[in-house]
């Protein structure tokens, strides 16, 4: 079966006129389910890709699979001809099995197991290093590898810092590693960095690329020939965020450091940017506890609600990755009444399993729904079955026009061009924000 048919079986294709709000209503109308629901709109990811191509035409996106590996989203990216940033052997294997050419995959893990290194060797996959130990391991298990040097360039304003774990220092350490690689005869063919996930200062990319150019020039001076550069990920992806601001700084740096005349392949590893806005999570209240003032039993101090989703489900990131949650109480009828200090708990016996604390919410009843937008990145992929509760259930939708576009892209030798030329996307680039008035 073709990938197109596989994807078609996974999604429900709806009319172009169906809004995101209609889809939420449709799921809410079915009443409370045992599982948390992940309403996934493939259209949103396709719009992100369109926006990327508009603003960063020189930078090829390699989707960071770890941010959301849901089949519908991954398959849509394959049909549109993206590349892939894989963090593990299993991710590399999955992308190869989906028919992605090895040239479109980077195993962007600076610390690889020996088994995964041997696997990368078998399939000739590009990889990265940031330490002498890794270089020696590569020399032993994958000596003909092509590798990128990963240097540290952290944004001060990112939700998740990666520099505390990965990336060599940009001055002495990068130079000495390049010398070790030279002695071992390892082909270092470029550089990469990662500013951190959920980065809000776009201009950090400018400085990071400038630094890359310096490392590049040093590498050239000792005999390497770099042919690719990798700008990593970190771009915000919530509704209302776009790539344009980042693109200004990236394009300026590229013009200055890597003019188009230079023969260099440029790519980046966006994860969150592609998938965050594509998923809306929907959960019903199934329990409630009202805490009153000890001396004044009529005075409500706080209300606790219990949901089928929590820290062990969708909401790991709000607890541990500085992600802000905006609950939308899905009740029509205008005024929802007085608000109370509220805490939202997950279903498990862990007292730590809450995902919003001391927020102001109107009073809810059992079976009322609460909806959370922007739950596509680092959400379902974190969930586990602690206490026997269900993993989020993914329900995939796609508009007819998006479907026709993917169909056309899949039959073209140049899917990027098909997306870029899409009249539908040109006329409908915006991503709907849910709001209850």
Residues taking part in catalysis = 349
Residue 313 makes contact with ligand PLP by CB under 6 A: no
Q: Which one of 48-56, 229-237, 278-286, 312-320 is the stretch in contact with ligand PLP (CB under 6 A)?
A: 229-237
Residue 67 makes contact with ligand PLP by CB under 6 A: yes
* Nearest C-alpha neighbor of 180 from the set 110, 126, 132: 132
- The interface with ligand PLP within residues 143-162 (CB under 6 A) comprises 162
Residue 233 makes contact with ligand PLP by CB under 6 A: yes
Residue 83 makes contact with ligand PLP by CB under 6 A: no
Other C-beta atoms lying within 10 Å of the C-beta of residue 384: 10
- Where in 23-178 does DSSP place strands (E)? 37-41, 60-64, 83-86, 105-107, 126-129, 146-150, 158-160
User: Which CB, 47 or 399, lies closer to ligand PLP?
Assistant: 47
Residue 77 makes contact with ligand PLP by CB under 6 A: no
Residues in the chain: 437
- Where in 165-271 does DSSP place strands (E)? 187-192, 197-199, 228-230, 265-268
Residue 51 makes contact with ligand PLP by CB under 6 A: no
- Where in 330-411 does DSSP place strands (E)? 339-345, 354-362, 369-372, 393-399
Residue 193 makes contact with ligand PLP by CB under 6 A: no
CB of 104 to ligand PLP, least distance (A): 15
Residue 232 makes contact with ligand PLP by CB under 6 A: yes
What DSSP state is assigned to residue 282?
E
Residue 64 makes contact with ligand PLP by CB under 6 A: yes
CB of 272 to ligand PLP, least distance (A): 4
Mark 256-295 with x for binding to ligand PLP (rule: CB under 6 A) and - for no binding. -------------xxxxx----------------------
User: Which CB, 108 or 243, lies closer to ligand PLP?
Assistant: 108
Q: Which residues of 183-217 are buried (b: 16+ CB within 10 A; e: fewer)?
A: eeebebbbbbbbbbbbbbbbebbbebbebbbebbe
Q: Which residues contact 327 (CB under 8 A, 6 or more apart)?
A: 344, 356, 359, 361, 370, 371, 372
Residue 194 makes contact with ligand PLP by CB under 6 A: yes
- The interface with ligand PLP within residues 366-405 (CB under 6 A) comprises 377
Q: Which residues bind ligand PLP (CB under 6 A)?
A: 64, 66-67, 85, 108, 162, 194, 197-198, 232-235, 269-273, 377
């Amino acid at each position: 079966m073709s990938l197109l048919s596989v994807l078609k079986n996974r999604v429900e294709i709806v009319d172009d006129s169906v809004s995101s709000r209609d889809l939420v209503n449709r799921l809410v109308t079915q009443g409370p389910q045992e599982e948390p629901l992940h309403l996934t709109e493939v259209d949103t990811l396709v719009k992100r890709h369109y926006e990327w191509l508009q603003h960063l035409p020189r930078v090829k996106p390699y989707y960071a699979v770890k941010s959301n590996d849901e089949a519908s989203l991954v398959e849509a990216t394959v049909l549109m001809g993206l590349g892939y940033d894989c963090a593990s052997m299993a991710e590399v294997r999955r992308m190869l099995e989906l028919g992605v050419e090895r040239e479109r995959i980077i195993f962007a893990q600076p610390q690889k197991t020996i088994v995964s290194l041997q696997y990368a060797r078998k399939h000739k996959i590009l990889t990265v290093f940031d330490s002498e130990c890794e270089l020696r391991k590569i020399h032993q298990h994958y000596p003909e590898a092509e590798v990128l040097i990963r240097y540290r360039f952290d944004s001060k304003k990112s939700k998740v810092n990666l520099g505390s774990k990965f990336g060599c220092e940009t001055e002495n350490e990068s130079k000495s590693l390049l010398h070790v690689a030279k002695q071992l005869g390892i082909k270092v063919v470029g550089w990469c960095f990662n500013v951190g996930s959920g980065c809000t200062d776009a201009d950090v990319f400018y400085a990071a690329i400038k630094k890359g150019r310096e490392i590049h020039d040093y590498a050239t001076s000792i005999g390497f020939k770099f042919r690719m550069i990798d700008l990593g990920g970190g771009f915000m992806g919530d509704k209302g965020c776009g790539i344009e601001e980042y693109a200004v700084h990236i394009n300026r740096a590229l013009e200055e450091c890597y003019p188009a005349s230079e023969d260099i392949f440029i790519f980046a590893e966006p994860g969150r940017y592609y998938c965050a806005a594509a998923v809306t999570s929907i959960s019903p209240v199934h329990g409630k506890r009202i805490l009153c003032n000890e001396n004044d039993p009529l005075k409500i101090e706080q209300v606790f609600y219990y949901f089928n989703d929590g820290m062990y489900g969708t909401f790991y990131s709000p607890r541990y990755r500085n992600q802000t949650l905006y609950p939308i109480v899905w009740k029509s009828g205008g005024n929802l009444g007085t608000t109370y200090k509220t805490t939202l708990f997950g279903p498990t016996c862990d007292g730590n399993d809450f995902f919003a604390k001391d927020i102001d919410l109107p009073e809810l009843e059992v079976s009322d729904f609460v909806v959370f937008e922007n739950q596509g990145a680092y959400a379902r992929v974190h969930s586990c079955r602690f206490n026997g509760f269900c993993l989020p259930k993914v329900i995939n939708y796609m508009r007819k026009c998006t479907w026709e576009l993917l169909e056309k892209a899949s039959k073209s030798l140049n899917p990027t061009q098909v997306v870029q030329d899409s009249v539908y996307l040109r006329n409908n680039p915006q991503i709907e924000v849910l709001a209850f008035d």
